[in-house]
Amino acid sequence: MDSFIRSIINAPRAKKRVITLCIDSLFIAAAFWLALIVRLDSLEPLSVTSNWLLLILLIPISLYTFISLGLYRAVLRYMNSQAVWAIILGTIITTVSLVLLAFFVGIDIPRTMPFIFAWLCLLTVGGSRIIVRALIGRMTTSNKDAVIIYGAGSSGRQLATALNAGPEYFVSAFIDDDVTKHGSIIQGIPVRAFNDIHELIKKRKATKVLLAMPSETRARRKEVLAQLEPLTIKVLSIPGMADIVEGKAKLSEFRDVEIEDLLGRDPVTPKDDLMTANITDKVVMVTGAGGSIGSELCRQIVKLKPTKLVLFERSEIALYSIEKELGEYISNNTLNIELIPIMGSVQRVNRLETVMRTFGVQTIYHAAAYKHVPLVEHNVVEGVRNNVFGTYYAAKAAVEAKVDTFVLISTDKAVRPTNVMGATKRMAELVLQGLAQEQGAKHQTRFCMVRFGNVLGSSGSVVPLFRRQIKEGGPITLTHPDITRYFMTIPEAAQLVIQAGAMGKGGDVFVLDMGDSVKISDLATKMVRLSGLEIKTDDTPHGDIEIKCTGLRPGEKLYEELLIGDNVEQTPHERIMTAHEVMLPLSELNVFIDALDIACHNFEHEKIRQLLLDAPTGFNPTDGICDLVWNARLENESKDNTKSVNNVVNLQS
């Protein structure tokens, strides 16, 4: 039987229409005779020739009516209200035609017979389609995975329609917080309360929960995810309506739960006056333009319509990628912005100054830096050269080129640093603070720095690592079970940097409000459970993903801070604060800079470390010198000394 129905379903469209016309003819004939038999309570009408003549005239008229109303163009499995109205209207016209034909042909029929005929016609023609649709639906859903949609709003309903029409999923239920919807049926799908989700997962064998709440705040989505997390069922979300409208995504495209939703932090609408102050109709330069922060800064800057945007980057492929992306955006939006891709290193002061003078740069966002803690710990000299001297040279070039504003992208690791990376970034802050003291007397460049924590999706971020490890079946690697970090999205960080830069008066240290710190082990656990998997522990030895702690890496802190002291003030922006930190006069700072330059040139790692300790950086290293070249050289010297000792001849023996 199943195979017979499937053969009809898979038959050509023309063949299915012919079959439907024949079946409807039988239904109309059956309704006609049943109406007469029921009304007269006798089989005698079957023997009356005039009744047969009336039926022969009625069937073509009825079929023509249904064809004209488009009933046979409707696909049964997608039958909607339009098809229902076609059946109702067609039945009414057929019934009226029956009465008129009987009158003009002179055939007597009972007065109530047309009403009985109409009801029977609706039952047979309409009911058969409902039954067939249900059968097809059951057959098609048997090979689909059951899913639950969280949210019975417009997005959820559209998603349900798209899924039920597709080959992969069928919607077994809606979950909604609106109590007025509980117990109702929308598009043939029951709406249930969240308390019923355990039953739905168990009885209906749902494999996924789809979040259809793109317009909800992140705080609300965080609450929902906190409810879903203990269920150990895969949770996916649909794209935001803005992405769907702009053609960046489709409603039926599912995404893993965004980490932004787990953090529950909603972005603040940027202030237009602060966003445009240093950018609109100005020449802007971004160093490290191809990096995670630098590239997002460039994306935000082009939207604010500078006259020129100088992309300064040492990596050829990174520069190529960001120039191509921005070029397409400028072209597609017909913007009058000149893109200037410049290859170069921030460690070459004459290159920097020449570029700034040539293009008349007015605003600089200095994002060029080495930021990966263990790598800088293993390559101390390059870390110092790039982070300290790169900032120093860029700032000196800005002064000489008469740049108006210079904004340094700093980090929370500059606060009481335990690693070389953090110490070098704090040293870079001291450089700008020292130069800012001469503002007005010797130059007009306004220096400020913006300090914030980790950004989601940046290079080396823990989130993409966890996703990959979960996909590969684990284990997830943590450095320490108690480690915590601050997180922020890259677009929000870039917008706040631009706004903070506009508020700077000179030497300001701006600190971004990062919200609450996040325990990384909790983040890993949530990501695993919302992927529909279970954590493997001693209590749950049959779990899917194990979390392993590998120990803190060189220079790594258990937690990060954003402020050195408590001397902090609020700015006009609710998520930007300003801190008053210790600084050095430029004359004293230059002594450190000169000594650090010589130490780097001679690869004197002990001297480098001592200088970083002596400067007011707050450097408190947790490890010894971890530079790979330094340690390898010491090891080689130790081996050479051992060999020399072994080669000595003992003359007294």
CA 496 – CA 293 distance, rounded (Å):
12
Instruction: Report the amino acid identity of residue 40.
Output: L
Beta strands in 226-304 (DSSP E): 234-237, 255-256, 283-287
Torsion of CA 108, 110, 112, 118, to 10 degrees: -60
3-state secondary structure of 89: helix
Strands 185-186 and 189-192: antiparallel
Q: What are 169's two structure tokens?
A: 């999923």
- Give the CA angle between residues 131, 137, 142 to the nearest 5°: 130
Residue 158 CA: distances (Å) to CA of 204, 495, 516, 523, 588: 21, 33, 36, 31, 66
232 near 533, Cβ under 8 Å?
yes
The string of DSSP codes covering 163-209 is HHHSSSEEEEEEE-S-GGGTT-EETTEEEE-GGGHHHHHHHS---EE
Strands 208-211 and 545-549: unpaired
Task: Indicate the burial class of 230 (C-beta count within 10 angstroms; 0-12, 13-18, 19 or more).
Answer: exposed
Q: Which of 234, 282, 371, 413 is catalytic?
A: 413
> Which ranges constitute the DSSP H helices of 486-569?
490-503, 520-529
CA 382 – CA 374 distance, rounded (Å):
13
Q: What are 373's two structure tokens?
A: 């803690």
525 near 476, Cβ under 8 Å?
no
Cβ neighbors of 168 (< 8 A, separation 6 or more) are 144, 145
* Rg of the chain over all Cα atoms, to the nearest angstrom: 37
Q: Is 413 a catalytic residue?
A: yes
Q: Can you name the residues that pair with 568 across neighbouring β-strands?
A: 579
CA 16 – CA 7 distance, rounded (Å):
10
CA 499 – CA 497 distance, rounded (Å):
5
> Measuring CA to CA, which residue among 413, 453, 405 is closest to residue 429?
413
Residues classed as catalytic:
413
